[in-house]
């Protein structure tokens, strides 16, 4: 599903204009990002949890040359679906 399709569904479900639905979706993304940045975790009951994890330092390869390179530790976002969400998708 694309952002445009999601905005259209929000318009239909909530009876909003396209501008209002787009604004609401942008607000959700902005606040989700801010919440993860500040607290390291955002939880939606019945949907899932977004949390920050750290990747370990590891060795990778340059795909063009094949040379080994060292990749540093970095933070990344992980999504863990809620049980009810997991049951619905599969």
Q: What is the pLDDT of residues 2-26, one digit of tens each?
A: 999 999 999 999 999 999 999 999 9
- Say whether both 28 and 55 belong to one domain: no
Number of domains in the chain: 2
- Residues 30-48: what's their mean pLDDT? 94
- Say whether both 5 and 34 belong to one domain: yes
- Say whether both 48 and 12 belong to one domain: no
- Say whether both 12 and 32 belong to one domain: yes
Q: Is the dihedral of CA 33, 39, 44, 50 positive or negative?
A: positive
Q: What is the pTM of this model?
A: 0.73
Distance, CA of 28 to CA of 66 (rounded, Å): 41
- Say whether both 75 and 52 belong to one domain: yes
- Residues 21-38: what's their mean pLDDT? 95
- Say whether both 59 and 72 belong to one domain: yes
């Amino acid at each position: 599903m694309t952002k445009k399709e999601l905005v259209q569904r929000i318009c239909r479900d909530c009876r909003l204009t396209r501008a209002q639905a787009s604004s609401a979706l942008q607000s959700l993304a902005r606040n989700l990002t801010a919440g993860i940045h500040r607290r390291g975790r955002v939880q939606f009951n019945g949907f899932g949890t977004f949390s920050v994890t750290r990747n370990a330092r590891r060795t990778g390869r340059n795909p063009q040359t094949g040379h080994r390179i060292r990749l540093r530790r970095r933070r990344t976002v992980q999504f863990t679906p809620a049980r009810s969400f997991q049951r619905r998708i599969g």
